[in-house]
Structure 1
């Protein structure tokens, strides 16, 4: 490679050290100058991360964040009545729910909490598709969010007995005469101990324990507990046994769910999923074992597990191996471009359009149709089709062409730190601002080809780059392999 492609060094724009940058990428939705400043001010990546874990959950502040879609606060009966009256469909309300998730991920300063909220919504997955779960789905998301950095045993109890989960997995009408096995099965197979750790007899026992939790479908949508529908008599699920003599089985349910949450097989399942999400698609058995033990030693609390995870050698060595999924890509692109999104006043405003862009790349939040939740490994998103879709969205965003409303994009003059500036130094500044790291020869060469500019060319106020080519330069940064990884 010719020496003329030696990269510039615009040291006035800060970067993050390799380990801090790696940590920030895994536990945020993309670097921004503000995030870099926060990490630097905290004293480094680990200090920032620990502070994020220790930050108390503030429900009021969280509710006020991008609280732009009022239908998400309606009760289940009202949501359904408005659908019946053709005021607004449940699918439209759920589109708003997904939009709120995306904009929260763009704007929240509590990025670790946002990432973990997504992780648990995927693990205890209730799709946003479908009329019946949708009436309760926003409430379910609030429950998961509240427990995202808390204890898994507490989260599991509230999630499994929530009306949205009861409806989705057919427990809402399960009774002692006709126990429905869907929730009892998925509770074991997906949410706790995992495949190979239970039998068909365990599934039947699990279903019997969960009888009595009801939702008045298609009428009032009220969630109740019905003792007359609860199965009584001895129940056995693996090493859990109970005489189950009380017709009110709510305390039994809580004992059972807490037992499952504390089970060693559950500890390993959650540890493995955390390792796949935040370390690599193929984590070592040693790190899974270590994290599972931390989980058990801390009474299912998640924060200690995360603290241990980011301090493992496996985590430090796993830089650049996790691919962003479609929604992560779109959110990271908005963040990288410094987009300022405001409350939507029309359907084509940015806070609404971001959902369609996520769809275009491959998947919107919450839309995975099966109860296993969207994949945590990268293979499904590593296709030519996905790359082309991402490039198309990147191109629109880099040019500020779509969306145009409800968002403020930085102008080329906003991006340039000084004028005149040598092109190689401008590319280095942009790499630091967008990627959080210094530029290299490959990036400089791609940038030169995209805008037909020499590395040593002086960019002045009237240069064509600022007049009509700057979108090409930004697109190079968004289409760079570094931007596809977290």
Structure 2
């Protein structure tokens, strides 16, 4: 019998436009994800379903949190365990990063995970910030809960959250000694951006936020201290308030609402979303359009995302975004369909894949939310498109394709799982694998790369005992993972 590509199409591929949308708002298109898109009625219908994550059953992902006990402990318990030298806060934070990576691999709420990552970097509290880590898991929960809602609500929740207050030193900010860190970053990073305010605005911003604190080195409970609040008239880029009461919570509420609805904030939020999900240099026209949608819809993030994915600029941005280190590791596990085992709490658990994945992300460039500055991890291509990054990615790809690292707590597929049937012509096998791993048909360039990687000719027959299957299989898989199609999203 003569085999043709039709025999090995196997995968039901999404259209290029659908693959673009789903790939940009997920951590990699898999056959399972493609089935979800088709079941929803197409990419836009799937996207709309994703904007209501509470309606999406995701029990497997929810259960992952229990793999690391520290993630369910209160801030006070984590502090007490560190003080008693049972478990350090930094250890809990490493587990938080692992949980985040596994969540992205397994979650059916892919849009929520992608947008949560964006905001958790926008409102960056480094996971290894000393003492903020007692609250850092709950801080991530707060952002995840509001990631698709109103930016106004999200801003209120994060700026007054103990993790943010501790990270930017507002816990010690008082009327006598205002600390400007949070007041400045609120303007520069979180809302209106540089060029929209002056130093007097920063000082007034800091004064408004005095009083928000925490019970440091005791319970770490959130505390509002009226006696620490600076009283007196304040003006910040058009916002004015008599600020006459010792309880400064109402003025904080009004101030944050003002900033959330400021046109400069609208443009900044719109540009951040466009850079992350469209291209590094979105047009001013797109940014202005999205900013207007933001303002017209009371700062609702869902509305902006709906407009973004329907824009001509989004449709034209195929292949314009590079996967960052975390996205690369997660997408590789998804593409190879690696199955994780729950690591034991003691003994050999550190060597299990669910724990080792953190060091794989670190080897490429950065671990989740490890960026030490308050501006958060870069989302532009230049930061992640260097030769050293490429070499690091290749090393991780070959280790996973070869099933070498991690070797514990992970189940990898054998060649028999990947090959549709034996014998098979090599060019048809490459096409089949391209559909399975890259969710697209093979190209002449990809076929040539595969032929050179494993020294096999296009029409060579591959049998169970072929050298490719016996000792070169990892080289073939790695060729797909090292391809430009895989390294972009």
Alignment TM-score > 0.5, same fold: yes
| Per-residue deviation, 1:44 | 1.8
Q: Identify the range of structure 1 (459-468 vs 54-63) with the bigger mean alpha-carbon deviation.
A: 54-63
Aligned to 2:283: 284
Q: Distance in 1 between matches of 2:373 and 2:448?
A: 44
Q: Distance in 2 between matches of 1:63 and 1:413?
A: 32
Aligned to 1:186: 185
SS at match of 1:88: coil
| Per-residue deviation, 1:320 | 0.4
Confirm or deny: 8 A CA contact 1:7 1:439 kept in the other structure.
no
Q: Identify the range of structure 1 (345-354 vs 216-225) with the bigger mean alpha-carbon deviation.
A: 216-225
Q: Distance in 1 between matches of 2:68 and 2:216?
A: 25
Aligned to 2:155: 156
| Per-residue deviation, 1:130 | 2.4
Confirm or deny: 8 A CA contact 1:66 1:103 kept in the other structure.
no
Q: Distance in 2 between matches of 1:60 and 1:132?
A: 32
Deviation track 1:245-293 (CA, whole Å, cap 9, x = no partner) reads: 2211112111111111011100000000100001111110000000000
Q: Distance in 2 between matches of 1:452 and 1:405?
A: 31
Aligned to 1:26: 24
| Per-residue deviation, 1:228 | 1.0
Confirm or deny: 8 A CA contact 1:179 1:207 kept in the other structure.
yes
SS at match of 2:380: coil
Aligned to 1:477: 480
User: Given the superposition, is the C-alpha separation of residues 475 and 8 from structure 1 closer, same or farther in structure 2, using an over 3 Å criterion?
Assistant: farther
Q: Identify the range of structure 1 (356-365 vs 422-431) with the bigger mean alpha-carbon deviation.
A: 422-431
Q: How does 1:68-467 map to 2 (within 5 A)?
A: 68-345=67-344, 346-467=349-470
| Per-residue deviation, 1:236 | 0.8
Q: Identify the range of structure 1 (263-272 vs 38-47) with the bigger mean alpha-carbon deviation.
A: 38-47
| Per-residue deviation, 1:7 | 8.2
User: Given the superposition, is the C-alpha separation of residues 369 and 9 from structure 1 closer, same or farther in structure 2, using an over 3 Å criterion?
Assistant: farther
Aligned to 1:36: 34
Aligned to 1:56: 54
Q: Distance in 1 between matches of 2:6 and 2:86?
A: 57
| Per-residue deviation, 1:351 | 0.7
Confirm or deny: 8 A CA contact 2:56 2:108 kept in the other structure.
no
Confirm or deny: 8 A CA contact 1:8 1:425 kept in the other structure.
no
Deviation track 1:134-169 (CA, whole Å, cap 9, x = no partner) reads: 111111001001001111110110100000000000
Q: Distance in 2 between matches of 1:59 and 1:372?
A: 33
SS at match of 2:254: helix
Q: Distance in 1 between matches of 2:440 and 2:286?
A: 28
Q: Identify the range of structure 1 (76-85 vs 125-134) with the bigger mean alpha-carbon deviation.
A: 76-85
For these two proteins, the number of residue pairs brought into alignment is 481
Q: Distance in 2 between matches of 1:335 and 1:245?
A: 56
Confirm or deny: 8 A CA contact 2:56 2:109 kept in the other structure.
no
User: Given the superposition, is the C-alpha separation of residues 475 and 59 from structure 1 closer, same or farther in structure 2, using an over 3 Å criterion?
Assistant: closer
| Per-residue deviation, 1:60 | 9.5
**Structure 1 length normalisation: TM-score?**
0.96
Confirm or deny: 8 A CA contact 1:8 1:428 kept in the other structure.
no
- C-alpha RMSD of matched pairs (Å): 1.6
| Per-residue deviation, 1:340 | 1.2
**Structure 2 length normalisation: TM-score?**
0.96
| Per-residue deviation, 1:342 | 2.5
Aligned to 2:44: 46
| Per-residue deviation, 1:58 | 7.8
Structure 1 gaps of 5+ residues are: 1-5
User: Given the superposition, is the C-alpha separation of residues 303 and 372 from structure 1 closer, same or farther in structure 2, using an over 3 Å criterion?
Assistant: same
SS at match of 1:67: helix
Structure 2 gaps of 5+ residues are: none
| Per-residue deviation, 1:88 | 1.4
Q: Identify the range of structure 1 (213-222 vs 158-167) with the bigger mean alpha-carbon deviation.
A: 213-222
Q: Distance in 1 between matches of 2:333 and 2:473?
A: 16
SS at match of 1:183: helix
Confirm or deny: 8 A CA contact 2:122 2:189 kept in the other structure.
yes
Q: Distance in 1 between matches of 2:5 and 2:54?
A: 43
SS at match of 1:56: helix
Confirm or deny: 8 A CA contact 1:57 1:146 kept in the other structure.
no
SS at match of 1:132: coil
Deviation track 1:1-42 (CA, whole Å, cap 9, x = no partner) reads: xxxxx9887322222211111111110011111011111222
> Which of structures 1 and 2 has the larger relative contact order (alpha carbons within 8 angstroms, sep 6+)?
1
